[in-house]
Amino acid sequence: MVGLLILVAGIVLALDQATKVIVVASMLEGQTIPVIDGVLHWTFQRNPGAAFGLFTDFPVAFTILASAIAVGILVYARRVPDRTHAVALGLVLGGAVGNLTDRVFRPPGVFRGHVIDFVDLRVWPVFNVADAAVVVGAILLILAQYAQERRARAARG
């Protein structure tokens, strides 16, 4: 299961960083490009806060939090009970490391770097691939845990 978890995390990290490189290279900050007008736009923003533009005054705290989440998942990786948990944790790990990479390597400086956001659904704050992976991974983890507990209850009788 460790291999699957790392594979999923690596794919998420690669997609996240590749899309951010494309956005930074091809768009101006604040620029919006309609993909499906009124539904999906690419909007280039630099986010000093947490996911979805929340808590912009604490970038160092989110660097520490993302680091702790990544380390926690890696420590737990050998005890992952099944594929669903591995995929879910891989999504969360890849997303955490994707945004952590921005915080460490992007301006204005190490541990204060701004995360690149660009997915704009017009009804939700602008986000990126890493944010989406963390949210989907967290939801999948809740569902996987619920299913595991339900199977355990059924086995006990």
Active site (catalytic) residues: 117, 131
Half-sphere exposure of 105 (CA within 13 A, CB side): 10
| Helix, strand and coil in the chain, % to nearest 5 | 65, 15, 25
If you search the block for the tokens 């991974």, which residue do you land on? 137
Cβ atoms of 80 and 66 within 8 Å: the answer is no
Half-sphere exposure of 134 (CA within 13 A, CB side): 20
| Alpha-carbon Rg for the chain in angstroms | 17
Tokens in use for 108? Answer: 């204005």
At 27, the amino acid letter reads: M
